[in-house]
Amino acid sequence: MSCAPFVSSPHDVVRKMLEVAKATKDDVVVDLGCGDGRILATAVKDFGVKAAFGYEIREDLFKTASGEVEKLNLTNKVHVYNRDLFQADLKEATLITLYLTTYANERLKPKLRAEAKPGSRIVSHDFMINGWKPSRKENYNEHTIYVYSIPESYSM
Ligand SMILES: C[S@@+](CC[C@H](N)C(=O)[O-])C[C@H]1O[C@@H](n2cnc3c(N)ncnc32)[C@H](O)[C@@H]1O
């Protein structure tokens, strides 16, 4: 089931999200609903993260994202799946990226609580995770970026 329509995060917002979340070469990024794959590509190219995984339910967007990854020669580090984000494997994730809706984030909470590992972060563009306390919140132009720390953001 679709959680959110396709609206890309603008490229400067993608960079800001990764900056605010302090993405580094030690991170493994998972984008839940990866659209055209821009967060994955930027994370690897510009922030040097170890690996980036994207889940995208729409086949056309999955193909676009996969094509982009090939064009940029990132196939060794970026993997895109044409799969529901509720089936995402979060075991290796240290940084989870979201641009969905508040309702989708609400539905994701149990999965995030159960599977996001201690020490990982979640960065969400525009939509908060209700009831969780962000460790950082930044306004950037008309956008808001929320960072949540696991488990501190939900265990207070
Ligand atoms: C607002 S867009 C964000 C795209 C990208 N993350 C970005 O920030 O540019 C949300 C994306 O999530 C995808 N999506 C929605 N529900 C999904 C689901 N259940 N599983 C996987 N992808 C989903 C949509 O098709 C869309 O591409």
CATH code, domain carrying 26: 3.40.50.150
Q: 121 lies in a domain?
A: no
pLDDT of 74 over the 90 cut: yes
Closest Cα to atom 9 of ligand 1: 8
Average pLDDT over residues 10-36: 98
Pocket of ligand 1 (CB under 6 A): 1-4, 6-9, 31, 33-35, 38-39, 55-58, 61, 84-85, 99-100, 125
Residue 62 burial by Cβ neighbours in a 10 Å radius (0-12, 13-18, 19+): buried
Please give the residue range of the domain that contains residue 53.
11-115+128-149
Q: How many CB atoms lie within 10 A of CB 10?
A: 14
**pTM of the predicted protein model:** 0.98
Residue 4 is assigned to a structural domain of this protein? no
Q: How many CA atoms lie within 13 A of 115 on its CB side?
A: 17
Segment 73-92 shows an average pLDDT of 98
Identify whether the C-beta of residue 124 lies closer than 8 Å to the C-beta of residue 98.
yes
What total of structural domains would you count in the chain? 1
Residue 86 covered by a domain: yes
Nearest atom in ligand 1 to the alpha carbon of residue 33 is 12
- Average pLDDT of 10-30? 98
Whether 126 shows a pLDDT value over 70: the answer reads yes
Q: Is residue 56 part of a domain?
A: yes
Ligand 1 centroid distance, CA of 25 (Å) = 25
Report d(CA 116, CA 31) in Å as an integer.
Answer: 13
State what percent of residues in the chain have pLDDT above 70: 99
Tell whether 55 is covered by a domain. yes
Q: Are 108 and 115 in contact (CB under 8 A)?
A: no
The verdict on residue 123 lying in a domain is: no
135-140 average pLDDT score: 98
The closest-lying atom of ligand 1 relative to the alpha carbon of residue 31 is 6
The residue nearest atom 8 of ligand 1, judged by CA position, is: 9
Domain assignment present for 1: no
Token pair for residue 122? Answer: 């979640």
Q: 138: which strand partners?
A: 145
